[in-house]
Amino acid sequence: MPGPSTTERLRVRDPNDIVTARRAARELCAQLGFGNADQTRLATAVSELTRNVIQYAGEGRCQIEDVSDAHSLGVRVTVEDQGPGIPDIERALRDGYSTSGGLGAGLPGTRRLVDHFEISSRPGLTQVIITLTRRR
Ligand SMILES: Nc1ncnc2c1ncn2[C@@H]1O[C@H](COP(=O)(O)OP(=O)(O)O)[C@@H](O)[C@H]1O
Ligand SMILES: [Mg+2]
C-alpha cells in the first residue's frame, strides 16, 4: 500500500528558497522511487521556475506534491506568484527570449524537461504547473 501522500508548501522570496525548493523536489522524487536523472530534471525545473519568481515577481510560492497512484509514480510542482504577469506567453516560451538579458532558456528548457507543463499568467497571478510521471 502506498504511504500517506506528501505535500510541501514553500515560500519563495530569496535565493536560499531556490535551494530549499530544489532540494525538496529532489528529495520527494528520490523518496517516491524516481531515478537520479529524473530527480535532476525536476530539481533543475524547480530552480528555473523559482528563480523566475524572485527575478520577475519578487516573491511567490512553490508547492510540491506526490500524485502517485497504483500504476505510476508522479510528482507535481506548482510555482506561482502575484507579480506583473507575462504579457505574451507564447513568446516567453521561445528559446532565447528574455526581458532581463538572460539566456531565455528557463521556461522552454523547463517545458522540455517534464512530462506535463501548464502555464497561465495575467497581471497579479502567474502559475506554472509541472508534472513528472513514470510507470511503476
Ligand atoms: N514569473 C514570471 N513573472 C513575469 N514574467 C516572467 C516570469 N517568468 C518568466 N517571465 C518572463 O519570461 C521571460 C522568459 O523567461 P525564462 O525562459 O526563464 O528566461 P530568462 O529568465 O533567462 O529571461 C523572462 O525574461 C520574463 O520576461
Ligand atoms: Mg528564467
pLDDT at 10 > cutoff 60: yes
Tens digit of each residue's pLDDT (9 = 90 or more) over 45-66: 999 999 999 999 999 999 999 9
What does the H/E/C string look like for the chain? Answer: CCCCCCEEEEEECCHHHHHHHHHHHHHHHHHHCCCHHHHHHHHHHHHHHHHHHHHHHCCEEEEEEECCCCCEEEEEEEEEECCCCCCCHHHHCCCCCCCCCCCCCHHHHHHHHCCEEEEEEECCEEEEEEEEEEEC
Q: Which phi and psi (to 5°) does residue 81 adopt?
A: -150, 165
Q: How far is the CA of 9 from the centre of ligand 1 (A)?
A: 22
Q: What is the pTM of this model?
A: 0.96
Pocket test for ligand 1, best of 93, 107, 127 (most atoms within 8 A of CB): 107
CA–CA separation, 125 vs 110, rounded Å?
A: 19
Mean pLDDT, all residues of the chain: 96
Predicted pLDDT of residue 5:
75
pLDDT digits (tens, 9 = 90+) for 69-123: 999 999 999 999 999 999 999 999 999 999 999 999 999 999 999 999 999 999 9
Question: pLDDT tens digits, residue range 99-112?
Answer: 999 999 999 999 99
pLDDT of residue 55: 98
Residues in the ligand 1 pocket, defined by CB under 6 Å: 48, 52-53, 56-57, 81, 83-86, 92, 97-100, 102-107, 126
Average pLDDT over residues 29-43: 97
Which ligand gives the minimal distance to the CA of 57? 1
Q: What CATH superfamily is the domain 7-135?
A: Histidine kinase-like ATPase, C-terminal domain (3.30.565.10)
